[in-house]
Structure 1
């Protein structure tokens, strides 16, 4: 579903007190995901990427002509203006319509999962193909946030990101999105980002060691990523 096309606040139906809010002011639009307890995150986020411990996930919309001069300093400044703690926030950047973010969630006996994806595909690209490369950040981007309530090993977290990437590529293949350089089916854009946040909640009585497509966790990740990428990409040009 795309809750922000009609409202500013999404509240999880399954994970208590987890919210995502669309807000905008003179400093720019953003989706801020708030979690009651810190998540252990693994990501390629622009700010606090790698492994972090955070309770705020932010997807910040920047102008199409953003040149990526000093994103670390700019993000730190924005977080202060938004009254968010820099050390407890992980931040993605995009030029996509935040109103068209796609949100999906699932509750299982061994975990809960929320997925939020925004998509802008003007710089669609196919990994492994001969194409133009760029030294700097370009406008576009498929950004995906995955919030996992439960326990995962470090290895499973890496496995989960692999599964998410496969699901994204599958959605783009079914859509027929093309690399802007060579016309081949795209596997993403040249600036995609993904965050996986894991709560470590022991209440489910399971520690997930794998997250491939043959596991319950991997199947759920694949389904939610596929669905949200498909919806956000195919509706990105709608009003």
Structure 2
């Protein structure tokens, strides 16, 4: 299967916290999208994401970009109230705190939809837990990296009173399991697509 984007629509607006190129930061979102770009992409990402929203009739969506073949590498995993949506390409692995290698296109995008009510602090905690799960997965698969130089992450949840999403909590355990499974699946598929080129 090959398609150049993925759109997830929510039944109702959710609180979003992300570093996405389109509507990143803390906002309300009606959904999110993964948008495929050329491996040598050097365009105006803000304008291109706005155009993508208009083209598909979307409003107030958070948008991520990737050069990976979304139709092949998109992986989805659900654990408890957490659903992880992951696209992975790792041609530009990097280690936090070290000088990055020469830039190449490659991004790990992680979007977590959490069907519980979280505080903003808990959403920040969820980003930390998901990042730890990402790094563990990369290391366990033999990548000498903590991520890539252009990773994206987004947490989407109801506003509520849950204050923690770390590794000692049930929510954090579900985040870790969902991210690890989806990322491993996406990376293994990405590796296969590279091997047949």
Per the TM superposition, whether the score is higher than 0.5 is: yes
Structure 2: runs of 5 or more not aligned: none
Check whether the contact 2:32–2:61 (CA below 8 A) recurs between aligned residues.
yes
Residue 175, structure 1, aligned to residue 131, structure 2: no
Residue in 2 that maps onto 1:193: 152
SS at match of 1:122: coil
Whole-Å separation in 1 of the counterparts to 2:168 and 2:7: 32
Residue in 2 that maps onto 1:106: 79
Whole-Å separation in 2 of the counterparts to 1:106 and 1:164: 13
Q: TM-score, normalised by structure 2?
A: 0.92
Residue in 2 that maps onto 1:51: 26
Structure with more of its chain in helix, by fraction: 2
Whole-Å separation in 2 of the counterparts to 1:43 and 1:49: 5
Whole-Å separation in 2 of the counterparts to 1:81 and 1:155: 34
SS at match of 2:90: coil
Whole-Å separation in 1 of the counterparts to 2:48 and 2:127: 27
SS at match of 2:64: strand
Q: What's the CA shift string for 1:17-72, capped at 9, x where partnerless? A: xxxxxx84xxxx110001110010000000000011111200000010101x3111
Whole-Å separation in 1 of the counterparts to 2:182 and 2:176: 10
Q: What's the CA shift string for 1:156-182, capped at 9, x where partnerless? A: 1111100000000000000111xxxxx
Residue 93, structure 1, aligned to residue 65, structure 2: yes
Residue 81, structure 1, aligned to residue 55, structure 2: yes
Match of 2:184 among 227, 230, 235: 230
Residue in 1 that maps onto 2:172: 218
Residue 117, structure 1, aligned to residue 92, structure 2: no
Residue in 2 that maps onto 1:16: none
User: How many residue pairs align between the two structures?
Assistant: 192
Q: What's the CA shift string for 1:54-93, capped at 9, x where partnerless? A: 11200000010101x31111111121111112xx111000
Whole-Å separation in 1 of the counterparts to 2:119 and 2:9: 23
Deviation at 1:222, TM superposition (A): 0.8
Check whether the contact 1:41–1:195 (CA below 8 A) recurs between aligned residues.
yes
Residue in 1 that maps onto 2:123: 157
SS at match of 2:192: coil
Deviation at 1:132, TM superposition (A): 4.2
